[in-house]
Amino acid sequence: MGANDTERNEKEEIEIIETMEKFGRYQMLQYFLICLPAVVVTMLNVNYVFVAGEINYRCRIPECDDQYPVYNTSWWPNKNIDRCTRPLVKELTGGSCTNDSFSEAVAVCTDWVYETNDTVIAELDLGCQPWKSNLIGTIHNVGFSLAMLASGWMADRFGRLPTLILCSVGSCIGILKVFASTYYAYVLIELIEATIAGGTYTSAMVLMIEIGGKKNRVLAGVIFAYAIYVGETLFALIAMFVPYWKNLVLIIYSPAILSILLLFVIKESPRWQLLNNKTKSAKKTLLHVAKINKVNINNEKLLNMNEENLKKEFNIDSYEEKEGLTAIFKSREIIKRSLVAAFCKFTSGFVYYGLMVNSVFLPGNKYTNFMLASVMSYPGELISLYLMNKIGRKFPLIYGYVLSGLLCAACGWIPEDYTWLKITVFLLGKLIVSVCYTGVITYTMELFPTSVRGTLLGVCSVSAAFGSMLAPLTPILVKTPHGVMPLLEFDGKVYGQSFAICRYLGKKYGLAGNTLEEDLVIDQNTNFYADVRLNGIQSFWEPDASVKAVKQEALVKTVYPELLPKLEKILKENNGYMALGRLTWADFVFAGFYEFFKQQSLIPDMDEKYPSFKKLRETVMNVPAVKKYLESKSK
């Protein structure tokens, strides 16, 4: 009987290298624990969607609003007034304002009344400054890109586990945002928090890949992606019931502090331990894994193996052991892989987070829409898991990117009247890009050797972060009539085209002509200035160096000597202005483009040759309202 037991044990005994390949309770527990900080950091990673979200506001009217004004009033004028414009009061009826208390005149608004204080828009008084609110998300993702680059190196140098704990615990610094009293203090904290927190993703993903074995890499990628989606869904649920931004920040950031406890329950990657000559620790970890998974290995053999033999057992050869970051980029194959991985990660990051950010602009409740966009990722991971294991990594990614792009383009072409069709196509695009988002994580993990995997993953992740940096700015493009800048928004409508906006504002603020003929003169001279600039623009952006040289030579010798004196003559005939002998919107166009016009003209002494150009720009910049605005922006 004893002989039979011994024989059975010998048959059940596995090789030491198989210790990490046998997926069991150890991997399940470690995956769960590693995903906890990933869930928390994901909530922080998209916090700006609601914390810096859009709210309604209007201009404050000092003559009508009391000390504690409210957004909804009965006396607001019965005409379309955008929220960046202040209607002027002509007279008060009975000492209070009515709908008829306002004249036709308006002024630029400098003080606003907000419907709620649920977001930082109200707290930091960011009315009519959409670029500032959109920039919060971009700055956050700048910090994330820096974190991914630095944390990859840290994970390779100091270990996967210490980097994971440091980054996840350090992310709680974002709590300080609730004490920020200025916009610049707020975005500085946002940047610091993201720079620390972003390393959680890199270190957690590398650790999960390495403890699960080669056969379970796709599974590790899918589980990690689910942690991200759970974080997004949980964030939407919390924000739905806790809309006030300070309470929301405290709730989602506070759990990060508890990540310090994971130091006692998560184990370091044995492969990293072997690569960094921590053989004793690696043996201890392997014995622990075997015990938890209840696999039979030769403990005595493991304990008696020296460092060199143990590395050979795990197929860690001299290339993987000694290769450094400088040497790795001498390999053309690694460079090619890095470029492909960087492009794939940029695309998936930009599309994925672009769809998440824009989901709140779909018809309906913004919290529900954000949650739906998150939930659509769940089946995407199962599709990714099946296709990656059944077909491979390459072709599912190729077809997934193409299909996602087609769906996103189709969503843009579907009219707003077809609400459900538009939402369905949008969510299908989100589902497909989720397949790519997970697939490319696993794909890039398998491209690089263990010794520099964290570093190269961090390098490639910078491009993903660059895509996510651009994503928060896409709502601006969604609102543009033709998909280009600049734009003017008021009364819920958006208008584009530079000269059309300038003409409108000129008429609105008394900077246009008094007759049709005077308007014609302004248009005539402004268009001539545009034609002069167009010559330089075509030359400046010419991609062919030889053609560019010919064009620039023609500009300097022929075109500008003919056109610039004519432009100077216009200014002299109009008392130093572009038209009508007084300040008009055309002068603002001239001043706004002048510095770039000088750069592209290749005339370094333009100010000396044509002093009237410089004088007009100075005249515009010294307009009291313009001067005050510029001074406020320089602080």
Please provide the average confidence, as pLDDT, over all residues in the chain: 82
Residue 139's closest CA among 205, 187, 89? Answer: 187
Residue 320 has pLDDT above 50, yes or no: no
Question: Which positions ≥6 away from 190 have C-beta within 8 Å?
Answer: 48, 136, 139, 140, 143, 174, 177
pLDDT tens digit sequence for 138-175: 899 888 878 877 887 888 889 999 999 999 999 999 99
Of residues 600, 589, 536, 583, the one with CA closest to residue 563: 536
Q: Could you tell me if 248 and 242 are in contact, meaning their C-beta atoms sit under 8 angstroms apart?
A: yes
pLDDT class for 6, splitting at 50, 70, 90?
very low
Measured CA to CA, the distance from residue 555 to residue 563 in angstroms comes to: 10
Residues 187-202, mean pLDDT to the nearest whole number: 92
The per-residue pLDDT for range 529-562, each reduced to its tens digit, is 888 888 777 777 777 778 788 888 888 888 888 8
Instruction: Please tell me which residue, 478 or 205, carries the higher pLDDT value.
Output: 205
pLDDT at 7: 43
Q: 108-117, 211-220, 507-516: lowest mean pLDDT where? A: 211-220
Burial 378-398 (b: 16+ CB within 10 A, else e): eebbebbbebbeeeebeebbe
Backbone angles phi, psi at 110, to 5 degrees: -125, 0
Query: What is the C-alpha to C-alpha distance for residues 341 and 406, in angstroms, rounded to an integer?
Result: 22
Q: What percent of the chain has pLDDT over 70?
A: 89
CA distance 475 to 479: 6
Reported pTM: 0.67
pLDDT the model gives residue 478: 58
Greater pLDDT, 40 or 539: 40
Is residue 321 pLDDT above 50, yes or no? no
Sequence-distant (6+) residues with CB within 8 A of 605 are none
Lowest mean per-residue pLDDT among 261-275, 335-349, 508-522: 335-349
Provide the pLDDT for residue 476.
62
* Interacting residues of 147 by C-beta distance below 8 A, sequence separation 6+: 167, 194, 195, 196, 197, 198, 199, 202
Least confident of 18-27, 421-430, 435-444, 547-556: 435-444
Q: Answer for the pair 97, 116: CB distance below 8 angstroms, yes or no.
A: no
- Under DSSP, the state recorded for 12 is H
Q: Provide mean pLDDT across the span 8-37.
A: 78
Q: What pLDDT does residue 243 have?
A: 92
263 half-sphere exposure, CB direction, 13 A CA radius: 13
For helices 516-540 and 498-508, give the axis angle rounded to 10 degrees: 150
pLDDT at 318 over 60: no
| Cβ(85)–Cβ(59) below 8 Å | yes
Task: Write down all domains in the chain, each with its CATH number in brackets.
Answer: 2-53+124-479 (1.20.1250.20), 497-634 (1.20.1050.10)
Which two tokens mark 608? 């000396």
pLDDT for 446 beyond 80: no
Is residue 387 over pLDDT 50? yes
